Amino acid sequence: QSALTQPASVSGSPGQSITISCTGTSSDVGGYNSVSWYQQHPGRAPKLLIYDVTNRPSGVSNRFSGSKSGNSASLTISGLQAEDEADYYCSSYTSSSTLPYVFGTGTNVTVL
């Protein structure tokens, strides 16, 4: 099972919106509505931002939103803030009988 593909880096200025893509296959992203997104600051544990493609856990800012089309999912960060500078990972459930999850390769977001 290969990792989901994300761009290595994305950058934006404060106040702008950016979008991070996550590309998989019909055996993972395209086949299930179980895409999640995580934010990780250096030296910290990941934090769940989005689950089930579009849902935000309680306490997560509504500046974070998720979507999916075909075998690709996206995370959009609106009103970019300095504190959004971090690594972001997508994940998906998979149809594999031996490996039910797969993470994305990760995207480093820089706030210019």
Residues found near another protein in the complex (CB under 8 A)? 1, 3, 34, 36, 38, 40, 45-48, 51-52, 57, 87, 89, 91-93, 98-106
CB of 34 to another protein, least distance (A): 6
> Smaller CB distance to another protein: residue 13 or 98?
98
What is d(CA 99, CA 14) in angstroms, rounded to the nearest whole number? Answer: 39
- DSSP letters, 43-101, are TS--EEEEBTTTB--TT--TTEEEEEETTEEEEEE-S--GGG-EEEEEEEE---SS--E
CB of 104 to another protein, least distance (A): 8
> Smaller CB distance to another protein: residue 60 or 76?
60
